[in-house]
Structure formats: C-alpha cells, structure tokens
Chain A
C-alpha cells in the first residue's frame, strides 16, 4: 500500500519528473501523427495503384501481343476457376501525344492504352476517375454535350477548382470551330488583299497553326481530309459513293467531316497531360474535352512503323497518381487494334497485349497468380499481381515507414534516458527515506516496486497525453494545416504537388496500441536500473545517508 501512497506523493512533489513525461508525450504524439499521415498516404497510393491496375495482369512480353483474347480468357477462367469475377483485354503501347496550345504544338510521351469501354470499369476503379458523371457510370468514347464536373468529384471540397470544364464538350468544340473559321476567313481575305499589293509579305499575317497545317499536309501520308482543321465546313461532307469497295473498310475515307458536329475517335488522356494546377489550387487546362489531338504510335508489324491519327478528347482520367495521370491515355481498343494492324485479315482474330483480371473479394492474389503461371509458359506470358507491378514503390514506402518509426522511437528512448537520469537523482535524494522504509520492514521488492510503479505511472500519463494530443492532431490535421497556413502565410501542403486536396490521415488502432505499449515499456525499462539500485541499498548505510 505504501508504494501507491509514496508514488503519488513523490509525483506530486517532484515536478521535474514531469519534464520526462513531456518528452514521452511529444514522442508518442509525433509517432501517432506521422504514422497516421503515412498510413493515409500509403492507403491513398495503394488505392490509386490498385484502382488503375486490376488485381492480376496477364500480359505478353511483346508489344504486338497475343492473338485471340477470348480463348485466353476461357483458359484463364478454367485455370483460376471461381476466383475470377471479371476480365477485360487491353492493348498498351508507348506513343506520342501532340496537341496545340496557342498555336504551338506540344509533344508528350505517353502510354496509349486501348480499352474495352464496356468491361474495363468492371476490373478496376477506372470509371471512378473520369470527369463526366455519365462516364463514371458507363464510359462512352463519344463526346458529351457538356456537364463535365467543375468540382473535383474525388475531393471532399465543394469548391469549383476546374472552371474551364464548364463549357467543355460539344459547346466548346462548336465554339472553337466557329472561331477558327472566322480567323481563317479573315486570314484568307488578308492574304488575298496582300497578294494583290505585295505578294511576298504574307508572313506576319499567317497563323502558325496554318503554317504547321501546311507543313503537315506536305509531309504526312495522311489525306488532309482527316486533318484537324478542314478549310471550310460547308465544302465538307461530299456525297458518298456507295459502290466504292474500299468504303466498307474505311467508311470515313474520302469524306470531309464537319468538326462542329462530328468527332474523331474518342480519347481519354490523363489529366496531368492536359492540365496544371496553379498556386490558387485551380486546374488550368491546355486541352479541353472537344479539342482534337494527334497521337503517333507504332504498328504491330515487324519492324514497327509509326502511324498517326487524330482523336477527340472526350474526358479526362484522374487517378491522383501523377505517374499515371501524366502518362496514361485511353482509346477504344477496337480502333487501336485496327490502326495498329492487330487484326488478322484472314481469321479476323484480334490481338491484345494484356488481359486485366479482377478476382472476387478475399481471393488470394498470389495463389491465383501462381496457378496461372503454371498453366501459361513464362517465356510467352507474364502474370503479375498489382502489388508485383508496383512492388519496388510499395516496398520503398514500407521501408520509409519503418525507418521513420525507428527514428521516432529513438525520441521516446531519449525520453527514457531522461527518466533514467531523473530517477537516479531521486534515488540518491531519497536514500534516507529508502533506509527508513527498510527499517520499517519494506522488502527489496517493495522498494524497487515504488520506482517501477513510478516509471509506469509516468509512462502511462505521458503516453496517455501523447495519445490524446496525437489523435487530436491526426484527426484535425487539415484544420491545423489551414491554421498554420493562415498564421505563416506559407503554403504547408501544396495541392499542386500532391494532387490531394487534403492531407490524408488514417489512425490504425493496432499501430497506436503498439506505440503506447512501446512508450510505457521504455518508461518502465528505464526505471529498472534506478529501482534495482534503490532495492539493493543497505538499510544501515541508507539511514546514515545525508
């Protein structure tokens, strides 16, 4: 009983011990916050990665792919059985994306992915990452008549961060075509007037756009009809010749399209390719749904040839993983297969380079992967889980977290040494009292117990305060961030870097328990030595101590 009383009295009269509590508290709070934020980032990242990659990816080593995806899917189904709930074929090739901004052509390196619009959203979260509400339900590569989200649908904020998407879609396309026509006519008129007076002086009045068109027309093998800007819409849409035998293969061949009412094949670029975020957190777009872009990609033959085609942007893809958002571009798989020559003209069988597989919830990814690896020869096919695909990244994040935890635990260890030093001081200071207690019949265990109990108490109080502090910070981290930003005027968390609008934070109860137990353990462990010293004091010598 005396242990409790004395612990309590010592605690009340030795405020210096609270100094070590503070360091335990800060250490615990820091660990909880850092773990919560790291877990939040890690979770967001895994969700994003998993959202774009399906559970399992079955792919060919070659860009040309393998033939007859239907047969492969049947075989996969046979091998993996009931674990599979969805499959979709894709074709992925590296490609170049070209688009015009203020008359300048911008070229970007991309991964062009042909997807089956009907089934792709079933195997991953692909659909969730689109900007048009209807496309999120079911993707269509047809241009929508407006209605794109001006608010980031994946963020909690209701702020309009994408005002440019307001008029995107057909209205934007029509407006652009009309504006281009006005300019073209004006230039045309200027040139005619200029040619009459001074034929050589045409340069300044000529738009870069037009110059590039001219160069493209001269160098490209494509018929100019498929170009982005036909000279005049009213001269387009010539009467089709029904008897033309080539008409069935390329229905658009030889016709002139009306860009104000027709579109090219739809394309969904990653949002990072077409936009940037300014300091105010608003997304500025280089290209909008309704604009046309050119894509150059290799054919499936050997050796591959580069071919180009024009596409109309119909939506944006935003997984919030900047690696994907600034790299992936989606087009309809059938178009890509046709353009790359992946359809066998004799059998009519198409090739794909990968099959994305979704497993039922709770299925063991690795075991299904291993079963598939047994069935399909490894020299022809690669089967990997989404974790395998991003293994190094996930491992790096895990390692970063463990290293950070070790470092932070050292903070608590430092607090432990503080407790050790303060306790030694208290033992020396209380030597006579220890002698008195021994003369009253207190055993070595009892005396040691006072100091261990004291350490335990400090640990529990320190860790408890740290828990409260840490959790309140972790749960309110975004308000705190706002407060800090308001006070300092500096941007603490820049959404243009992270693509998150808020700092993610997930508190895992297990991690918290582990931290608390560790901190209390360190507090108790560091009071063991002083406790032993106190317990071993000789009563007579202790009584003589002054």
Chain B
C-alpha cells in the first residue's frame, strides 16, 4: 500500500501500566503507530513486549493511561463505556488466538451474535432475514456453507477460526484486529487462515492489524512493526522487514 493513503488508525504516545499491589508493570511506554486505510500491518515482538495490550487498546477492550488513539480521525480513547461498547460493535472486528466462539451457539448464530448485540428484539425481527443472508454469505465464502448448524465443538480449529473471522466481518468493521490468529493451528491450517486474511486485504481493501510472534506469519503483511519493551523498535520498517526475512 502507498504511504499517501490516509491513516485509518492513529496511535500517539500510548502508555499503559498494570498495577498489582506495590509493583507497577509498564507495558506500553509511549507507542506511536499508524495504520493506513487498506493496509495490512503485522506487529511482532517477544512475549511481554506489549503487542497484545496495544491490540486490546485499539480494540477498545481496555483503556490507556495516557496517549491518544484516533479511528478515522476521531479520538476513541476516553469515551464513555457506552460509546466504546457501540464502537466495538460497529467499527472494529477482532479475531483471537483461541477463537472465542460462544459454545452454546452454532456457527451461524455465532456469526450473527454481534448483530444481535447491536439490535433490540423488535429491531432484530425486522433485520433478521437480511442479517442471516449476510452471515450465510460470509460463511459460504469461507467454505463453511455446509456447517452452519454445527456447534463450535463440532468444528475443527481452522473452521472455528474462520467462523471467528466471519463474525468479525459481519459488522463491516473499519479495521480487523487479529491476535495470533494462527497460534493454535498447525502450519497448513494456519496458512489457510493467513491466506484468507490476505485475500480479504487484497480483494476487499480491509485494513488489518495482525499481532504475532511468528516471523513467517508476519512476513505476509505489507509492513512489520516491531515492539520491544513497550515501545516501537526504532529500527525503521525496512530493517524490521530485513530482520524478519
């Protein structure tokens, strides 16, 4: 992607500490990070470098101690919890290492879950048909057309992750945040998932942030951001690229 594309996600001097009793753990110590629209960025770093925390902050699951996050030019840190809930539901899609599907719901219902969260009962009755169609189309696209009524425990890891991706996409988010999406999968399956993400990025122009510690996975992205000790590694992107390569 080109450098001239407007930044869809803009992180400035982000800091986050975790306190447990007397000790304070500085996880993020002033992270600056930009994501251009349609860009596919990998964030790599060792365990404890703060990459997951950064993803959680961008996904509005947690609140930063200081610094700012802008999504499409709007500050999203420091919002009321209701606004954050709303944004999580509409603007951001998240995929996790351990899939995080709801075990009581089947594949289709899991994909529909964000839309059910969004709509009240009456509204849901009105949009239900449309939502179902969208969810079914997504699952079809990921090769799960025949497994709509299967519960997560009846699905393989790769299938579960594809359901999770479909769930993240059904809300048409501005950005997809993926936290080690291939971490629990074997190489072939993980490759398939990665391929799916790349395809989404290429075909749909979806902006993706992928957190991983696997250099081979990170290499598939347009750009690699290296986190170390709570900061973006000063080494420029090309260097990071070299390192990874």
Contact = CB atoms under 8 A, between A and B. Distances in A.
A439 B59 contact: yes
Interface stretch (B96-104, B185-193, B234-242): B96-104
A388 B192 CA distance: 89
A4 B121 CA distance: 8
Nearest to A538: B62
B81 A2 contact: no
Interface stretch (A6-14, A169-177, A272-280, A285-293): A6-14
B116 A543 contact: no
Contact of A2 (B56, B100, B117, B167): B117
B113 interface: yes
A432 B120 CA distance: 23
B82 interface: yes
B175 interface: no
A5 interface: yes
Interface in A499-546: 538-540, 543
B105 to A, nearest CB: 7
Interface string A432-454: 11011111111110100000000
Given A13-B104, A436-B100, A441 B61 contact: no
Contacts of A442: 85, 89, 117
Interface string B66-100: 00000000000000011001111110001010001
Given A9-B105, A10-B104, A436-B100, A441 B86 contact: yes
Interface in A383-437: 432-433, 435-437
B119 to A, nearest CB: 6
Given A440-B89, A440-B113, A1 B119 contact: yes
B142 interface: no
Contacts of A433: 102-104
Contact of B117 (A9, A432, A435, A440): A440
Contact of A5 (B90, B96, B116, B123): B116
B159 interface: no
B33 interface: no
A407 B100 CA distance: 46
B85 A5 contact: no
Contact of A9 (B90, B104, B118, B167): B104
B114 interface: yes
B109 interface: yes
A450 to B, nearest CB: 11
Contacts of A444: 81
A523 B167 CA distance: 34
A436 B96 CA distance: 10
A446 B90 CA distance: 16
A2 B114 CA distance: 9
A2 B116 contact: yes
A443 B81 contact: yes
Interface string B14-49: 000000000000000000000000000000000000
Given A1-B119, A1-B121, A439 B109 contact: no
Interface residues of B, number: 32
Given A437-B117, A441-B90, A5 B61 contact: no
A489 B120 CA distance: 59
B94 A439 contact: yes
A437 B109 CA distance: 13
Contacts of A4: 121
Contact of A441 (B56, B62, B85, B120): B85
A425 to B, nearest CB: 16
B113 A439 contact: no
B118 A441 contact: yes
Interface string A7-26: 00110010000000000000
B100 A441 contact: no
A440 B105 contact: no
Contact of B120 (A1, A10, A13, A443): A1
B166 to A, nearest CB: 13
Contacts of A436: 100-102
A154 to B, nearest CB: 56
B105 A439 contact: no
Given A439-B94, A540-B56, A446 B117 contact: yes
Nearest to B118: A441
B120 A5 contact: no
A440 B86 CA distance: 9
Contacts of A437: 102, 113, 117
B120 to A, nearest CB: 6
Given A1-B116, A436-B102, A540-B62, A443 B109 contact: no
Nearest to B88: A441
A443 B80 CA distance: 11
A540 B61 contact: yes
Contacts of B89: 440-442
Nearest to A5: B116
B173 to A, nearest CB: 11
Most-contacted residue by chain A among B90, B119, B121, B123 (CB, 10 A): B121
A306 to B, nearest CB: 85
Most-contacted residue by chain B among A2, A432, A433, A538 (CB, 10 A): A2
Contacts of B94: 439
B48 to A, nearest CB: 14
16 contacts: A1-B117, A1-B120, A1-B121, A1-B123, A6-B104, A9-B105, A436-B102, A437-B113, A438-B61, A438-B85, A439-B94, A440-B167, A441-B89, A441-B118, A540-B56, A543-B61
A-B pairs, top 9 by smallest CB distance, nearest first, are A441-B89, A9-B104, A1-B124, A2-B116, A441-B88, A1-B116, A443-B85, A539-B61, A440-B114
Interface of A: 1-2, 4-6, 9-10, 13, 432-433, 435-444, 446, 538-540, 543
Given A10-B104, A440-B114, 15 more contacts: A433-B104, A437-B102, A438-B85, A439-B61, A439-B94, A441-B85, A441-B86, A441-B87, A441-B88, A441-B90, A441-B117, A443-B82, A443-B85, A539-B62, A540-B56
